Structures are given as structure tokens and as C-alpha cells.
Chains A and B, each alone.
Chain A
Amino acid sequence: MFLKRLTLIGAFITLMGSSVYAADCGPAGQSIRILASDFPAIHAVAGAAEGNCGAAAAEFNRNHTTEARQIMNAAQTPNPAEYTSVIVANSTLVQLMNDGLVRPLNDLVGKYGGHLKQNQLITIDDNIMAIAFMANSQHMFYRTDILGQAGVEGLPATYDEVLAAAEKIRAAGIMEHPLVMNLKVGWNVGEVFNTIYLAHGGDFFKSGSAEPSINNEKGIAALNTMKALVEYAHPDHLTQASDQTQGLWEAGKAAIGFMWGSRGGVILDDEGSSEEVVSNTVLSGAPTVTGGSIPGATLWWDGITIATNVSDSEAEATFAALVSGMTTEMVSKHNDDAIWLIDGFKPGPAAAGVSATASGGAKSYPMFAQMGLLHNALGAELVDFLKGSESAEQALTDVEAVYVAGAKDAGYL
């Protein structure tokens, strides 16, 4: 007990003595409640905010859960809302905005956001709705030793080159299924289609409306590319999401991966895998179609929002605390946890893939209000095609039919 108290006092003194206490925390004595997903970069930002302004606030609660996306709308609808801030990504911002649960931040940015960069501001028609702090996207992972063994020169940059490399690895008898992708039925399989469809230059909706427009040549071409890739994927691919694909990679059972950038740091660290795998893993940009220029990936950002249904002073205190965490010091302490959008980030090998994908001109995950419905339909209806029991045309017809039925019920059509 005595020791515990001593450490507490010690921590308090350090806090008082360090410069961070000088952070501008806005109105004192407010309640700050944050709902966020659960990965290291978000812990870093929210933790820095708590370190800076936790003492000035009456309470500072952080709920980090991978289920954040499922509970956020229900939690934020009542007045006062359960959380003063939700940390969101592209799609979840839309999810909250559809119900009007986030407030514009223009005034607060003017008051507390002097150190934020212009490209951190997420705007919808000049209203700042969120402040992004990190970027993420899917991209390629390669095992250079295995590519070398199979006689592949350089890193594949197009889907055709990826397929050719996979075939060479298979033909050389090194691996029967050299490719890993997140193809779990539902959100993941839909997302893979999105990336390949964007690489083919496709549009999801007819301009300005909620009418779907994926049942076209580009959609069919994207599906055929997807099918060709799946031939080289692990037989259980329809049950595999990020954790499983990362596991296969770290176990040395794959040579070509299409995975999230946020897994790069975890794979390249010295835990969970052998030296052979880690030292030969190289991250590179998402592939394009042959002759095309758009990398097949969706760019994501993660950022903070402030709830509509809380008092102005709580909103102000929450905002001040959170942006006080987005500093160069925080980034330098957690450099390899994410691809930071904040000044002071030094891109390491784990950031190479996302950087190449973003600078190659990949598209952001679309921010259409009705995108989630289409994504769900894709996730459910493409499976029959991948299993080989349905044609590409039929699969896309099904997707559109499911989407239209859902969109009508939800009031978008």
C-alpha cells in the first residue's frame, strides 16, 4: 500500500514537473469520455491526451473496444450522449453523420488546433467534422527470399505480375498456396472487391444518387481478377481475416500477402515470427491493373470527433485534451505504431507500403452515406462466385438486388 502510494506521488510529481502539464486543456473540471477502437496508435493518442489533461478533468474515461463500431450510434443518440468523443475512421464517421451525431469543429480548431496540419482536417462542405491523426491502407507484403528462389525478379507491381509470381512459386514446388488475403465472408471479402474495383477505375454509385453502378465491365473484370487471385490463396480463405492472415505470414506459410498496413509493424517486430520471415519481408504498394495507374487499395484515416449531444464546455474540454495528444513528442515516442499524419513522423520500413500506396494515387474509402449497405451486400453475395457456383454477372446482379432491397427499406432509394 505504502509503495503504491509512493509511486502515485512520484508519478504526480513527474507530471507536475514536466512540460506537458502546461498543455491548454480548455475548461477545467469537465467530464471527458472517449469511445475508441482498440489498437496501439489509438491508445497512444488517447493516452497522451489523458496524460496531458486527465488531471484537469473531473473524470477521464476511455473505452477501447473492437466493438466500438457496433455500439457507437446507440451510445451517442441520447442526450446527453454516453461519450463526449468517438474516435472514428472513414466509414464510421459516415455512420455517425448519418444520424447527426457529430458536431462541426471549425470554432474549436480555431481555438485549440494551431498545431494541426491542413491535411488532418476532414471536411464536408467546409465543415470540419473530424481531425485525422493516422493513415492506413491495404498493400502488398512480399517474402523476397521466396520470390528469389522461384526466380521472380523485382517486386510484382500489377495484378498480372502478382499472379505470375504466385504461379512461379507454385510451379517451383515451394508453396501450393503462396497468397494470403483477408477474404472472410462479410466485410472483408467486400472490402477486397472494393480495392480491386477501384483499381479498375470503377464507380460505386451513379453520380449524385444512391443507385448502384457496379454491374458493369469493370465490376466483372474486378471479380475475375479476384477469382484468379483466390486460386492461389489458402483453401480456408473464406474464414480468414487479419488475425489469421497475419498468423499464416508469421508462420512462414505465405510469400505474397495483401494485408492491412497496420499489420506491417506487428509483422516486422521481433515477436511472433522467425528471423527468416521478418528479415525477408518487404512491404510495397498495392498492385495496379496492367496499364493502369490506380493502386488497388482503399485509403483510410483514423481521427477524432466530438459528440453533438453533449454540453459545449464538455465538448471544448474533450477537444482540447485530444488535440493536445497529437504532438511531435507523442509521435516520436510511438513512431512505429502507425503511419502518423502528425509532424515529426519518421517513416520506417513498416510505413513503406502505405506511403507507396497513398503516393501512387489510391482512392479513399468512399464516404457515401449509403456505402455501408452496398458493402454489406458485396460481403454476402460475392461468396457464391468465389466458390465457383455462380457467374460474375449473376453475382453482381445479386449484389445490386440485395443492395436495392436494403436501400429501399432504409429509405435511400
Chain B
Amino acid sequence: MKHSTFFWFILPSLTAMILFIALPIVSVFIQSLHIEHEQVLIVSESCDPFGCEETTSVDTEASSKLRAEKPLGRFNGLKTYTNRMILAFDEVGEAWRTTDSFRVFWDRVFNLPFYKSLTFTITYTIVVTPFVLILGFFVALGVNNLPKILKGPTIFSSLLPMIVTPLVGSLILFWMVDGDGVIGATLQKIFNDNSLSLKASPLLTWIMLMVYGVWHLSPFSFIVFYAGLQTVPQETLEAAMIDGATKLQRMRHVVIPHLMPLVIFITLILLMDNFRVFEPILGFSAEAHATSLSWLIFSHLRESAFPLYNVAGATSMITILGVTILLTPVLIRTWRDFNRKGH
């Protein structure tokens, strides 16, 4: 394709990307450098049906004048990124200086909201991604070997976890693992422990969220692998068979290499998706034990009375950065493959 043809070809989607993705990211970044104007507080007496109290209220006239002059707020530079809400340089530095064992240091750092979320997010990504890949692959192999008549229904039911909206799926499971729910009550019976609760223990909550993640995402890798399996060249397989390759060897030396580009594709998508894990935390009400970066952004924006746009913006930027770092190795590999093929 000529370069100019290519340019006109992608112009519409490029424009949309710049307008709706690139520019908003820039605006979020600018927002993250600013904080709210000073609020002019006045002490006032407030009375309600139960009595009068001395309280403070905002002098809205003075505050709105400040806001009209500088709608973005006060410039704060990168301080939002380094204060306690996010990277917490001071707190981490102090923890490093004043603790003598790594364990105690880690406990102190883990106490900071951002690092707590980051830990869960990375763990979730690292655990869920390979499991989804492997499980999806085996489901695809299984379905591929089914008799034709069973294939349709099996594919449909294997896709169900993904068809169910994440929030709905996690809410249903949330009630099933409840102490009075089917799974929760059964577990209590098996272990003969009435206070066993999946929702009360941090470790069990983490495991529950990750199992849910694997369950929810496996159909995606299954369907991609299944499509890939249909394109495995039969001649090569037959040739391998004639050469005396066992079933395992055929799998190892023919099928898997053929599917490798798909593995990279799925890994890419899964890494992105898992790094932004959000709905299960909300659905399982798991905030007490597990928070993710996306949840952190949500909680900063959620509080309508005091939305901390700067903190939410800064956390978003760091999330984008995190996704980029995660994807770099995979992207570099793809780029190399592309160059090799090009020459």
C-alpha cells in the first residue's frame, strides 16, 4: 500500500483516537498537576431540629470568585504524585530510614493506599494471565476433539462466563459464597467451621477474586485458541505422523508453534484487561481486603462532595504508565518479528 493511501485510510480512526483518547489523556494529565483553590471558611452557627452547634461553612462568594479567575485551580506541579495519596515519597523514605528489617518496612509501605492497590493489581495480573492462557488452551483442545454434534452447545456454554456481565457475575457469586449461600454454607459444612467466611479473610478474598478472574476470562482465550486450532495445517500434522511423532510431540512441535502469534495476542489483551481489574472488587465488596488501581481512581472520583480530581488523574496516569511497562516486552517482540518478516 502506498503511504498516502495508508494515511487516508486510517485518517478517520486516527482523528477519533486523537480526539477521544489522546486529548483526554493530556487533559487528565494537566488536571493532575492542579489542586483546588483555597476554600474561604467562615465559622457559623447552624441550627436543626435537635439544637444549635458551631460549625464551619464555605464562603461561596469568595471561593467562586477565585474559581472564576483560575478555573483549573492552583498549580501544584508533581506534588500530587509524590504525596501520601500516591507515591508517598516522604512516607516511604521515612519507613526506609526508621525500620531495620525488610518485613517491617514492607508492612509500613503496604499500609499506604497506592502501594496496597499496586500490589494486588500486579499479583492479580501475574496470576490470572497464565491461568487464563492455559485453561483456555485446554478447553479449546477438548472442544476441538468433541464429536461434531456436541460442539455447538459446548462452545455456547463455555462462553457463558464471558457473556455474563462482570458486575452481575460477581454479584451472583458474591451471594453464593456468603455464609448463607450455596458455596459458603457447603464449605462451612465440609470444614465443620461455622465462622469460615470467604469474605472475611484477606487471603481467601484474594483467591476468590483471582478464581473469578480466571473463570470470567477463560472463554476469551478459549475462543481465540479454538479459532486458531481450525487453521493448523493438516499436511504438516500428517507428515509428522508419518515421521512417527506421538500425539504429545505433534502438540509440542506443530500445534503450539502455529498458535504462538495468538498466545502473544491474548497475553497482550489479558495483561491490559487484568491490570485494570475493577468490577469484581465492587461486586464482591472486597474493598476491605483487596483494592486495585482502577478501584482507587473510582473511589477518588466517587465521593461527589469532594472529588479529588488531581489524585484520580495522577493515579490514571500511573495506571497508563503501568500498562505500557507491562506491554513493552511483548510489543518489542512483535516489532522484531515484524522487521524480520519485512526483510
Contacts and interface: CB of A to CB of B under 8 A. Distances in A.
Q: Do A and B come from one complex?
A: yes
B35 A411 contact: yes
Contact of A387 (B58, B83, B288, B306): B288
B276 to A, nearest CB: 21
B56 A370 contact: yes
Given A99-B60, A380-B113, A367 B53 contact: yes
Contacts of A362: 50
Contacts of A73: 304-305
Given A235-B200, A364-B50, A401-B84, A185 B288 contact: yes
Interface string B291-335: 000000001001111101011000000000000000000000000
B51 A364 contact: yes
B326 to A, nearest CB: 27
A301 B49 contact: yes
B47 interface: yes
Contacts of B194: 176
Interface stretch (A13-21, A34-42, A54-62, A121-129): A121-129
Interface string A373-413: 10010001001100100100010001001100110111110
A200 interface: no
B77 interface: no
A387 B200 CA distance: 9
Nearest to B55: A367
A383 B111 CA distance: 11
Nearest to A248: B180
A119 interface: yes
B142 interface: no
A186 B285 CA distance: 10
Interface residues of A, number: 72
Chain B: interface size category: 35 or more
Given A405-B85, A409-B310, A74 B49 contact: no
B238 interface: no
Contacts of A282: none
Contacts of B51: 364
B117 to A, nearest CB: 11
B178 interface: yes
A314 to B, nearest CB: 21
A368 B53 CA distance: 10
A373 B304 contact: no
A367 B46 contact: yes
Contact of A234 (B74, B91, B179, B305): B179
A313 B39 CA distance: 31
Given A301-B48, A369-B39, A100 B64 contact: yes
A177 B195 CA distance: 9
Interface in A176-207: 176-177, 184-186, 205, 207
B202 A387 contact: yes
Nearest to B42: A125
B92 to A, nearest CB: 13
B315 to A, nearest CB: 13
A372 interface: yes
B258 interface: no
B46 A410 contact: no
Contacts of B284: 239
Given A366-B53, A411-B38, A124 B58 contact: no
Interface in A203-232: 205, 207-210
A28 to B, nearest CB: 32
B100 interface: no
Contacts of A410: 35-36, 39, 306, 308
B170 to A, nearest CB: 12
Contacts of A99: 60
A90 interface: yes
Contact of A406 (B41, B85, B289, B304): B85
B298 to A, nearest CB: 11
Nearest to B74: A411
Contacts of B38: 411
Contacts of B216: none
Interface string A78-106: 00000000000011101101111000000
B37 interface: yes
A398 B45 CA distance: 30
Contacts of B178: 236
Interface string B179-212: 1100000000000001111011010000000000
A351 interface: no
A286 interface: no
Contacts of B36: 409-411
A69 interface: yes
Interface string B55-84: 111101101100000000010100010011
20 contacts: A97-B57, A97-B60, A100-B61, A100-B64, A125-B44, A209-B56, A238-B199, A238-B200, A238-B288, A239-B285, A239-B286, A358-B50, A366-B53, A367-B46, A383-B288, A401-B84, A406-B85, A409-B85, A410-B39, A411-B35
The 4 closest A-B pairs by CB, nearest first: A100-B60, A239-B285, A95-B305, A238-B288
Given A95-B304, A124-B45, A208-B56, 7 more contacts: A74-B304, A362-B50, A367-B55, A387-B202, A387-B289, A390-B111, A409-B35
Interface of B: 35-39, 41, 43-51, 53-58, 60-61, 63-64, 74, 76, 80, 83-85, 91, 111, 113, 178-180, 194-197, 199-200, 202, 284-289, 299, 302-306, 308, 310-311
